Amino acid sequence: MRSTEGVSRFARPARDGLAETAEIRLAFEDNRLAGLVFGQYDQNLAHIERRLGVVAHANGNQVIVRGTPEATEQARRVLESLYDRVRDGAVMSTGDVDGTIEETAKQGTLFPADDGEARVGFEELITRKRRVRARNAAQHAYLRLLKKNELVFAEGPAGTGKTWLAVGHAVSLLEQGVAERLILSRPAVEAGERLGFLPGDLKEKVDPYLRPIYDALYDFMEARHVERGLQTGMIEIAPLAFMRGRTLTNSVVLLDEAQNTTSMQMKMFLTRLGEGSRMIVTGDPSQIDLPPGQKSGLVEAVRVLDGVEGIGRIVFAEGDVVRHDLVRRIVGAYEAETKRMLETRTP
């Protein structure tokens, strides 16, 4: 817990054309935890400085933050929130710092007092291996949709956490006993490359297509639990073609890269939903690898099923990319180029 004497403030009024400045001093009880908050070589503090436009100096378990009153106050909330999280065992990265900055900026507007809920922050996803908090308002809305709806469509660019959070949510339902099986699938479509004949048995043939799902599984489950689940059938990873004719009961079913399904494949997949099951469909409509002229099952499904009760939909944007700052800029550059090309074609 933070020390009761851990916060002091100093403000200098604006004068001679200079903006009002403030100074906040924070002292944390545990030096080790304070070091985790500040980051290796104070990289988390440097990130906060860049994002909030403040100046921060750390010395042992203390930090001094200078800037405008609004920025220093937000920096205080960010640092205290990070300290609470590392005290609970969370591991901090610059992405977590970004999420906490976003969260503190939204507090008071994202959770109005009259909504009947005493929420103080973004939604969390908890499995036995790790605890993850939404890093932005879109991820917060996504996690709430996953908890509320039996079928959720998630669309958006790479790096927004669509698949990763979906796998984490599925694992949490499995560990809570809400579901008995976890079924993860992707259409086996080559992304502009010819892979040729793949040797080996069925698992060895489809594994290259499903590698991203494996990676997410190992993030949320211990390796031995993943292997045991695969051996017992509690976790099943299969190409979309093998879903035909099945009825999936008491399961969490995830379809990834759904933009590469055909209309018939998507209809077939959605009608596999059985008693006590939930489905999550993720994809990026801007990265369709189907043959020219073939409609995407994802694009068609979200249009046809719009407004159907029990179905949730979230659309992530360029600003929701959390993978890396450079990824966000890359996505933005491609989107700008696409808009420019469309405008030049318009008569």
For residue 191, what pLDDT is reported? 45
For residue 111, what pLDDT is reported? 44
Q: What is the DSSP letter of 244?
A: T
Token digits of residue 70? 């609004």
Q: Which strands, in side-by-side order, build the sheet including 251-255?
A: 235-239, 181-186, 251-255, 278-283, 151-155, 311-315
- Going from N- to C-terminal start, the domains of the chain cover 7-106, 135-345
Full-model pTM: 0.73
| Angle, CA 255 vertex, CA 323 and CA 134 arms, to 5° | 35
Let me know if 340 is exposed, middle or buried by CB neighbors in 10 A (0-12, 13-18, 19+).
exposed
Q: Where are the alpha helices (DSSP H) in 252-293?
A: 263-270
Q: What is the DSSP letter of 273?
A: B
* Helices 297-304/263-270 angle, 10° precision: 60
Q: How would DSSP label each residue in 317-335?
A: -GGG--S-HHHHHHHHHHH
Do 254 and 185 contact (CB within 8 A), yes or no? yes
- Measure the CA–CA gap between 277 and 105, rounded to whole angstroms: 36
Digitized pLDDT (tens) for each residue of the chain, 347 residues in all: 444 334 555 555 655 555 578 888 999 998 999 999 998 889 999 989 988 999 999 998 999 999 988 889 889 989 998 998 888 877 777 778 888 888 888 764 444 444 444 445 788 898 999 888 888 889 999 999 999 999 999 999 888 999 999 999 999 999 999 999 999 998 875 544 444 555 666 566 667 777 888 889 999 999 999 999 999 999 998 888 888 888 889 999 999 999 999 999 999 999 999 999 999 999 999 889 888 888 999 999 999 999 899 999 999 988 888 766 677 678 778 878 877 887 776 55
* SS3 label, residue 203: helix
Q: What is the DSSP letter of 131?
A: E
- Measure the CA–CA gap between 184 and 181, rounded to whole angstroms: 10
For residue 345, what pLDDT is reported? 66
In this structure, which topology does domain 7-106 adopt according to CATH?
Ribosomal Protein S8; Chain: A, domain 1 (3.30.1370)
For residue 22, what pLDDT is reported? 87
* SS3 label, residue 76: helix
Tens digit of each residue's pLDDT (9 = 90 or more) over 160-177:
999 999 999 999 999 999
Architecture, CATH, for domain 135-345: 3-Layer(aba) Sandwich (3.40)
Tens digit of each residue's pLDDT (9 = 90 or more) over 169-203:
999 999 999 999 999 998 875 544 444 555 666 56
Q: What is the DSSP letter of 21?
A: E
For residue 115, what pLDDT is reported? 44
Whether 7-106 shares its CATH topology with 135-345 is answered: no
Do 280 and 168 contact (CB within 8 A), yes or no? no
- CB neighbours of residue 258 within 10 Å: 30
* SS3 label, residue 281: strand
Name every residue whose Cβ is closer than 8 Å to that of residue 65 and which is 6 or more positions away in sequence: 23, 24, 25, 26, 54, 55, 56, 72, 75, 76, 79
For residue 19, what pLDDT is reported? 58
* SS3 label, residue 312: strand
